[in-house]
Amino acid sequence: MMKKLNLFQLMLIVLAAMTFAACEKDKPTIMAYGMEHEVINVRDLTLWLESKYVYIKPWYSPDKEVQCFAGNDEKTGKRYLFYEGEIEGFKYEENHPYRILVREYQIANPPADASDRIYKFIKELEIPPLYGIKDGDSHQ
C-alpha cells in the first residue's frame, strides 16, 4: 500500500529539487568558440615569452609551417606554444621580451577541432634585472 505524502514532506522535496537546480546553474561559464562553455578549472600562469617567433608543422597540414610564439611557465618550466590571438587581449610583438600573467580556463566539451584551454591576458609583469645589473651599469 502506497503511503501518502503530507504537505511538509512535499514542500521539502520541492525545496530540495530547487536547491539542486540552483546549484547546477551556479557553475562558472566562459564564452569560447562562439558559445558558452562550463569552466572545469582556472589557474593563473606567469609566462616568459621568447622574443622570436617559432614555426611549427600543424597536425592538420604537416607540409605547411605556422607562425607561433613560445613561452615557459615561470613555476614549472613547461613550454607553451600560442597562435596569434590565442591569448585574448594580448598582442605579441617579435623582438620584445615579455613576462606576462595570463589566466588559463579549462572548459568542458570544446569543439572537436579546438583546445579545451582558453587564455586571457591579465597584465604584463616587470622583468627583473639580470644578476643585479641595473640600467646604466658598465659591463667592462
Predicted local confidence at residue 25, as pLDDT? 58
> In terms of Cα–Cα distance, which of 130, 98, 106, 125 is closest to 42?
106
Predicted local confidence at residue 20, as pLDDT? 61
Grid-cell match 566562459, residue found: 30
Grid-cell match 587581449, residue found: 89
Predicted local confidence at residue 94, as pLDDT? 95
Mean pLDDT of 32-38: 93
Q: Is the pLDDT of residue 140 over 50?
A: no
Q: What is the pTM of this model?
A: 0.72
Classified as helix, coil or strand, 14 is helix
Residue pLDDT, tens place only, 5-29: 677 776 667 776 666 655 555 789 9
Q: Is the pLDDT of residue 137 over 80?
A: no
Distance in angstroms (rounded) separating the CA atoms of residues 88 and 106: 14
Predicted local confidence at residue 106, as pLDDT? 97
Predicted local confidence at residue 103, as pLDDT? 98
> In terms of Cα–Cα distance, which of 97, 122, 112 is closest to 45?
122
Which grid cell is 52? 622570436
Residue pLDDT, tens place only, 41-71: 999 999 999 999 999 998 888 899 999 999 9
Single-letter amino acid code for the residue at 73: D
74, 46 in Cβ contact below 8 A? Answer: yes
> In terms of Cα–Cα distance, which of 113, 47, 111 is closest to 80?
47
Predicted local confidence at residue 23, as pLDDT? 53
